[in-house]
Amino acid sequence: MLFAQRLRYIVKRNMGNSGSHCPGIPSGKGPNLVGCVDLMDDLTIQGSFLRLYYPCEQGGKQRQPLWIPRHEYYYGLADFLKYNRKFVEYTLNYLYGSYRVPVEWDAPFKSDGKYPLVVFSHGLGAFRTLYSAICIEVASRGFVVAAVEHRDGSASATYYFEEKTKTVNDVGEAASSTISTLPLDQLQMKWLYYKPLKGREQEFLLRNVQVHQRAEECIRTLNLLTDINMGKPVHNIFPLKFDFTKMKDSLDLQKVTIMGHSFGAATVIDSLSKDHRFRGTVHQSFPDFTFLTGTFFGRIFQLKGTIDPHIAIDISNKASLAFMQRHLGLEKDFDQWDPLIDGKGEHIIPGTNIDLPLTNSEPKQ
């Protein structure tokens, strides 16, 4: 009880000192209202799992989804941060458990021409909801955004399904075709938490395997959205009303890009090398935590940078939109932010602020 009272005091004190912005994930600044659904096309770990952000229809009383959808994600964040699970669950649930994403959950898709498609890859220790601010802003500008939840052990947590009494075939593997046809009440969630390095395990060996799996998951996501665009039926595990048939012929698959943050950026590079359909790409100031965390807890959990998060994300979003217009040939007004691509603008550091070793072609001082 004493800890809870102290926590409440610290939270209130820090929120009062967190600047002029009230804590919360920012809404999109573009002309489109943004809708959101989760899509899992297969119960097994081989399937795709993503959150879809899209321009949606006005009207109705759609609810806003919770930012952290299940408490198991707190456990995963604890494992990634190397803190006690119960402590992190209590603390983060108290701080963030009531926050909701400013989108229209399960809202009807707005059929209005063809939208460019963006596949988004999260960083280490994240999951599909932690970059909502970026995905919402891009969707509000007239894109469909598919935020992948990776199942390679780099997400803090994710899940798939197994049969309660597992069916095993003659090679000792779960019969995935059988599992995929079972009702949810005959299945159980199988949680996959962040995979840390073990002992003297070399990080490159682990990350190399993971990044290749992540790239394949991004490609599967693109294939899934391609099927949806062709009007092929899609089976969503989640019991939502969203009508995927309205997305037929609504994606401009000649204008597909992939974005990522941190380890997601490495995923972008690998995806670009594997699939020619992807044409472009975009640290702590990027995940949603930076908008919801006061200075005190931001420093403890290393969730917050020194720059105002609203300034940082605005620069990033504008630069990303300008980049996509330049390389996808979009007929928008995003070129007004072209100077950001060239490293020009307030708060922009030209080149890099990291000391890089000299190459053989560079003169020594």
Phi, psi of 35 (to 5 degrees): -105, 170
Nearest to 135 by CA among 288, 279, 243: 288
Would you say residue 144 has pLDDT above 90? Answer: yes
| 3-state DSSP percent of the chain in helix, strand and coil, to 5 | 35, 15, 45
For the segment 277-281, the average pLDDT, to the nearest whole number, is: 77
Paired strand residues for 105: 36
Q: Which distant-in-sequence residues (6+ apart) come within 8 Å of 340 by Cβ? A: 315, 318, 319, 322, 348
What pLDDT score does 312 carry? 75
Is residue 230 situated within a structural domain?
Answer: yes
User: In 108-186, at which residue ranges do the beta strands (DSSP E only) sit?
Assistant: 115-121, 144-148, 157-163
Is residue 135 situated within a structural domain?
Answer: yes
Report whether 119 contacts 264 (CB < 8 A).
no
Is residue 139 situated within a structural domain?
Answer: yes
pLDDT tens digits, one per residue of 311-335: 777 888 888 899 999 989 999 999 9
pLDDT tens digits, one per residue of 73-92: 999 999 999 999 999 999 99
Is residue 74 situated within a structural domain?
Answer: no
Distance in angstroms (rounded) separating the CA atoms of residues 290 and 298: 7
Per the structure, the complete domain to which residue 37 belongs is given by 28-65+100-282
Report whether 123 contacts 263 (CB < 8 A).
yes
Is residue 299 situated within a structural domain?
Answer: no
pTM for this structure?
Answer: 0.79
185 to 40, 115, 163, 167, 179: CA distances (angstroms)? 16, 37, 9, 15, 12
Nearest to 337 by CA among 362, 317, 351: 317
- CATH assignment at residue 241: 3.40.50.1820
Is residue 253 situated within a structural domain?
Answer: yes
Residue with tokens 């952000």: 53
Is residue 345 situated within a structural domain?
Answer: no
Distance in angstroms (rounded) separating the CA atoms of residues 181 and 203: 38
Would you say residue 7 has pLDDT above 90? Answer: no
Phi, psi of 240 (to 5 degrees): -110, 160
Is residue 318 situated within a structural domain?
Answer: no
Overall domain count for the chain: 1
3 state DSSP class of 200: coil
